[in-house]
Amino acid sequence: MNLILSIIYPIFAVGIDYSNVINTNMNKVTKKLALLIMTLVVIGSCKKTEEPKPTPEPKPEPELVPIRIATAVTRASDYAFETGDNVGLFVVNEPKSLQLGGNHVDNCKFTFDGTKWKAGKEIYWLDATTKADFFCYYPYTSSVSSITAFQFQVSQDQSSESGYKASDLMWGKVDGVSPTPDPVVITVNHNMSCLIVKLKAGTGWKEDDIKDAEVTLCGLKTSSLINLSEGTVTADGNAMEMKPMQVGAGIFKALVVPQKVSGSELVKIKVGTNSYSLKTSIDLKSGRQHTCSVVVNRTGEGINIGIGPWETDDIDYGGSVE
């Protein structure tokens, strides 16, 4: 730049006749500019051309590990799942908590084929290190509208096996499971209460007389709200009558919503044309089996009730009806 200015500047000096000077100096400027441009080109060509850096090899995608489950439970037989049973599964990556939506896995349906559980769609762990919490419930429904107040209703008519099985709500949870190709074992527990009524022939009756007696359960709420993150059950709705399933001579059972019965009518029994009514107080607890052993006397005296939980507590509650 200084070279160019040194050439051009004298041309515009004050008081000089520019006509000849301009022509002469323009030729000089042109030559010098050409020389300058050639010099710059040569210098530029002498610079070492940088070789492009090699493109790094892309890192291989981590192999996805499918999520599989196995269960330990007492189900329709009160001790095993059956072919065709369906459960719902939620998976939550730590440290998050279970939500209605947006979990790692939302209410995925698993079907039991008699030996193993098969997912309705392939699901995978997030990665090789993130631990997760598993929430499982039975029976599966596609319409879960609440995590803290999931609605479930036991069947009022459990006189058939299908009605009894459909009333067996179960729930289980496993915390902090590390990613593994092996099935995650989930133990699901009964959330309802099992009420068994056993009839025994008393004064004036023979065992054959009462083996096919009619039994009705009374004053029990059949609707419930389940907290799927904790497995807790709350009775809901109005009290109804229920028909239990007969499982033997004079033996009946039904799955009922956990609740307290305080001195109200619980069992109605009809033998031939004779009707009996049992009023009692009982705390029907989740996951427990309660037994009412009823001695039916034709004279109207003495219905004896023995109630024990699934985990036997050897408590005997007595009473009589007229």
> Domain ranges in the chain?
1-28, 69-144+166-190
pLDDT of residue 63: 77
Q: Is 90 exposed, middle or buried (0-12, 13-18, 19+ CB in 10 A)?
A: buried
Which backbone phi and psi does 207 adopt, to 5 degrees? -60, -35
State the chain's mean pLDDT as an integer.
83
Tell me the C-alpha distance between 102 and 282, whole Å: 41
Q: What is the dihedral of CA 30, 36, 38, 43, to 10 degrees?
A: -170
pLDDT of residue 137: 97
pLDDT of residue 29: 57
Question: What average pLDDT does this structure show over 29-35?
Answer: 61
Question: What average pLDDT does this structure show over 83-107?
Answer: 97
Residues in contact with 157: Cβ distance below 8 Å, sequence separation at least 6, in sequence order: 163, 242, 243
Predicted confidence (pLDDT) at residue 294 exceeds the cutoff of 60: yes
Q: Which pTM value belongs to this model?
A: 0.74
- How many residues belong to the chain? 322
What is Dmax (Cα atoms) for the chain?
A: 152
Q: Helix, strand, coil % (nearest 5) of the chain?
A: 15, 40, 45
Tell me the C-alpha distance between 47 and 246, whole Å: 98
Question: What average pLDDT does this structure show over 100-107?
Answer: 98
3-state secondary structure of 175: strand
Which residues, in sequence order, are bridge partners of residue 167?
A: none
Other beta carbons less than 10 A from residue 248's beta carbon: 9
Residues in contact with 293: Cβ distance below 8 Å, sequence separation at least 6, in sequence order: 198, 200, 304, 305, 306
- Poorest-pLDDT segment among 11-25, 40-54, 295-309: 11-25
Predicted confidence (pLDDT) at residue 306 exceeds the cutoff of 80: no
Q: Which helix (H) or strand (E) segment is 263 a member of? A: strand 259-271
Pick the CATH number of 69-144+166-190 from 3.40.190.10, 2.60.40.2620, 1.10.260.40, 3.30.470.20: 2.60.40.2620
**Tens digit of each residue's pLDDT (9 = 90 or more) over 187-215:** 999 999 999 999 999 888 999 999 889 99
Contact 106, 222 (CB under 8 A): no
Question: What average pLDDT does this structure show over 68-96?
Answer: 85
**Tens digit of each residue's pLDDT (9 = 90 or more) over 229-255:** 999 999 999 999 999 999 999 999 999
Question: What is the 3-class SS of 73-123, one letter each residue?
Answer: CCCCCCCCCCCCCEEEEEEEECCCCCCCCCCCEEEEEEEECCCCEEECCCC
Q: What percent of the chain has pLDDT over 90?
A: 61
Q: How confident is the model at residue 37 (pLDDT cuts 50, 70, 90)?
A: low
pLDDT of residue 55: 73
